[in-house]
Chains A and B, each alone.
Chain A
Amino acid sequence: MRPLFALLLITLLSPWGWAAEPDALKSPQWEFVHKRFLNGEPYQFDGKVKVEAPADAEDSLNVPISFQVEDLESIQEIVVVADLNPIPQVLRFRPKEMRPHLGFRMKLQQGSPIHVAAKTADGLWHVGGVWVNAAGGGCTLPSVGTASGDWTKTLGKVSANVWQRPDGSNRLRVRVMHPMDTGLASGIPTFHIENLNVLAEDNKVLAELDLFEPISENPMLSFDVNRQTQFRLEGRDNNGNRIQAEVAQ
């Protein structure tokens, strides 16, 4: 009797016991998302992961998503997944010396749950999310740049600015010119930025970002950094084109 009781107790208390928690957004794809993008690791739905997006997307090519993870220590990685997109994985963000906040825009092929999962040092994924309704079609259209043919002149060009914020952080906004073609539009191969790192002036890595096909054309990113005002950006796309730029206030 006693070992059974102990087993029950372990099941209830261990994070593995929670993994059966049903998805708060009732996503039909949650099991797959959990297995594929969270490696089937233990998770819990957690109000500390706050995700913002309009309930109805006005423009399926540019759906604004932002998230903030509050009161969680030692975040290893944050993953964003749009469960019903043909390419569900949107980005992976590893904030090292900045706040675990991010704003960006993405393409939606149809209305979908957007899950944001933050993994803490204990190996547990903390999951938040929202549903976004959309007219859709965002993933199977060619980018404007590719359609008009003028993307080559601006490829990899960075514009940015830094603002001081009342709460003691600085806001860094970055736009990188890139078609971000998904490979799902007929005859146009996948062409997207794969990674982008934000570094301080002294080359210390402040955050690492892996970007995937659903990120909108000419990605616009909002970071909440500490008091720095000078940054370096380094990255590359899947064709090996480098992104290297220096940003100052």
Chain B
Amino acid sequence: MKRLLLLALWALSTQLAAAGFEYPLQPQEIAPDTFVLEGKTEDFSKENGGYIVNAGYIVTQDGIVVIDTGPSRRFGEQQRALIEQTTGKKVIRVYITHHHPDHFFGNQAFSDLPIYALPETIRGVQREGETFSNNMYRLIGDWMRDTSVVAPNQEVKLGRENLGGHELEHLAFKGHTHADLAVFDHTTGVLFTGDLVFNQRASTTPHANIVDWLASLEQLLKLPFKVLVPGHGKVTQDDQAIAQTRAYLVWLQTILQQAAANGLDMNEVMATPIPADFKELALAQSELRRSVAHLYPALEAEQLKPAKQAE
């Protein structure tokens, strides 16, 4: 009897342990045939398991197109299972918008399919994937179990193609990273921007070039989209998120340049107060600290003059 009870307890505990690593995936229908799994606007944590990113999918007549595979193997597997169960269709291909770890570490669950990305994104995954992986294990712990780096296996063909009744356009930009893919569905008017656009969340800059990024945002504004899916934050029907991302980046660039011109040290710049316009953005102060680490060294070096060396 006692043994039976122990067995029951053990079974319950393993079930609970497994349930502890279920991502709360809730598909939102944002347009006909088009769904988004919306992550929290938080930083990586052991609580959120890295579900801090938006992953999308389009249900075409030929099968399903997935855009970004999330932060871990568990995420990719749960994402694929959910999509295939709820639609009764198979995933046929995957697009990865850029090489940051919250966007591609679910690739393992799709490794039997073509996984498309821009060439520089594929190289970025190959170059930095292991470093990202180590850091992700540190940040989200057991959520990463059995996750390994699977680089995208196909270079994306730019331009338009008709896929199962959806006219998809693949567009190459840069600025958030060296290669940022946007996917525009002309049939539904849905634009997947990847991390070129953040909504109510401060932009991240580990591989950013702000000048290129601002130029890319100008191009995005010209597209006749009806629905915009940002990399992080809520899906929108207007261009407010683009305007907000642009305003934040302009502010960031300005304060960093001014600080460098005034001879400030990094910790002093990191303490810059966040103006009222951006107070509402999730993670504004911590992203500012990170951005100083990424972008300030080049700007401060411009302010130094070669000293006269003694021979």
Task: Find the B residue at minimum CB distance from A137.
Answer: B134
The interface bits of chain A over 155-167 (1 if a CB of B lies within 8 angstroms of the residue's CB, else 0) are 0111111110100
Q: Is B146 an interface residue (CB 8 A)?
A: no
Q: Is A175 an interface residue (CB 8 A)?
A: yes
The interface bits of chain A over 64-76 (1 if a CB of B lies within 8 angstroms of the residue's CB, else 0) are 1110000000000
Q: Count of B residues near A, CB < 8 Å? A: 28
In the complex, number of A-B residue pairs with CB atoms less than 8 Å apart: 85
The interface bits of chain A over 32-53 (1 if a CB of B lies within 8 angstroms of the residue's CB, else 0) are 0000000000000000000011
Task: Find the B residue at minimum CB distance from A63.
Answer: B293
Cβ-neighbour of B293 out of A59, A135, A247 (below 8 A):
A59
Residues of chain B contacted by A159 (CB below 8 angstroms): 301, 304-307
Q: Is A58 an interface residue (CB 8 A)?
A: yes
Q: Is A62 an interface residue (CB 8 A)?
A: yes
Judge whether A233 and B266 touch: CB under 8 Å: no
What's the Cα separation between A135 and B303 when bound, in Å? 30
Judge whether A54 and B263 touch: CB under 8 Å: no
Q: Is A222 an interface residue (CB 8 A)?
A: yes
Cβ-neighbour of B301 out of A165, A175, A248 (below 8 A):
A175
Q: Is B162 an interface residue (CB 8 A)?
A: no
Residues of chain B contacted by A245 (CB below 8 angstroms): 307-310
Residues of chain B contacted by A64 (CB below 8 angstroms): 265-267, 270, 293
B134, B265, B294, B303: which has the most chain A beta carbons within 10 Å? Answer: B265
Q: Count of A residues near B, CB < 8 Å? A: 35
SS of A interface (majority): strand
Q: Is B297 an interface residue (CB 8 A)?
A: yes
Q: Is A183 an interface residue (CB 8 A)?
A: no
Cβ-neighbour of A246 out of B286, B294, B308 (below 8 A):
B308
Residues of chain A contacted by B294 (CB below 8 angstroms): 58-59
List B residues at the A interface (Cβ < 8 Å). 134-135, 138, 206, 262-263, 265-268, 270-271, 286, 289-290, 293-294, 297, 300-301, 303-310
